[in-house]
Amino acid sequence: MSKVLQISSAIPELDYANIPKEIIPFLASYNLIPQLLSQRIIESAIAPITCTQAEISHALDQFYQHWDLTTAEKIKDWCLRYGLNAEKLKLLATRKLRVEKFKQINWRHQLESYFLKRKKYLDRVIYSLIQTENKSVVNELFFRIAEGEDSFAELARKYSQGAEADRGGIIGPVELGSITPNFAQLLYTSQVGVVQPPVAFGNTWVIVRVEKLIPAQLDDFMRQRLLQENFEDWFQQQLNQLSPEEKIWMGINPKSDQVQEMA
């Protein structure tokens, strides 16, 4: 493997010929090469993105405040320390804004349709759960709840074999997408407030009752989240386009396309 970082076949705009060979072992020892190359891939993508003079000035002001660069002399010393000229400083200060603009340009127009596609997994649910490996016990508990002999919470505290027992069986709110598919489908199709008959999942029998279904809303927070999801999908696509050697530099096993931690 070459000791000079070359990530140019899949992403021609990137040029690592000027990176000193001596620094590569240092970067590798701290597992910084994947992070460096990831940032360069992003930097290449946002290079065409521009900011207004007002946006640049605001970004610089925030940057100076963050680093306590309160005088022209401090700004000059900081730039000298990191080898930045005025133009590179502007690029550094506006980088986060340019990434956000990149997201907006590429995926803002499709957020509504993407949200509808993902909504089933973004909806949240609060439910009560009793789980036990004893089938006869779970059947008895179901009938006791259904007949009103005991409350769900009381029986969950006494018989459920999971951490939910301490909370009277209550779990949530949790996103349906974070739950195993079969169990999520059971919750999604259950009527709120109705105790479901025992169902087996592997060696465990469960009784569930959906307490509340909280539909996801396409508010500002959700828009930002979905933009980030699209951005991460895009980035994964960029990684998939890398050559086998480039994937090794990124800490990815070319055979499995899985990111590997470098020792």
Whether residues 129 and 189 share a domain: the answer is yes
pLDDT at res. 261: 40
- What single string gives the DSSP state of each residue in 105-137? HHHGGGHHHHHHHHHHHH-EEEEEEEEES-HHH
Query: For 191-205, what is each residue's pLDDT tens digit?
Result: 999 999 999 999 999
Query: For 41-53, what is each residue's pLDDT tens digit?
Result: 999 999 999 999 9
Domain count, the chain: 2
Q: Is the pLDDT of residue 8 over 80?
A: no
In a domain, 59, yes or no: yes
Residue 122: CB atoms within 10 A of its CB come to: 19
DSSP code of 48? T
As a whole-number percent, the residues of the chain with pLDDT over 90 amount to: 76
Q: What is the C-alpha to C-alpha distance for residues 115 and 245, in angstroms, rounded to an integer?
A: 36
Return the CATH number at 182: 3.10.50.40
Query: For 101-125, what is each residue's pLDDT tens digit?
Result: 999 999 999 999 999 999 999 999 9
Whether residues 131 and 202 share a domain: the answer is yes
DSSP code of 118? H
In a domain, 128, yes or no: yes
Whether residues 168 and 235 share a domain: the answer is no
Whether residues 209 and 233 share a domain: the answer is no
Record the pTM: 0.82
pLDDT at res. 63: 98
Whether residues 135 and 243 share a domain: the answer is no
**Residue numbers of the domain that contains 133:** 124-214
Whether residues 113 and 128 share a domain: the answer is no
pLDDT at res. 263: 32
* Least confident stretch, 79-83, 116-120, 152-156, 239-243: 239-243
The mean pLDDT of the chain is 89
User: Would the CA dihedral through 145, 150, 153, 158 be positive or negative?
Assistant: negative
Whether residues 42 and 171 share a domain: the answer is no
Whether residues 111 and 149 share a domain: the answer is no
235 contacts 38 by C-beta, under 8 angstroms: yes
In a domain, 11, yes or no: no
Q: Counting beta carbons within 10 angstroms of the beta carbon of residue 22, is it exposed (0 to 12), middle (13 to 18) or buried (19 or more)?
A: exposed
Q: What is the C-alpha to C-alpha distance for residues 246 and 1, in angstroms, rounded to an integer?
A: 10
In a domain, 8, yes or no: no
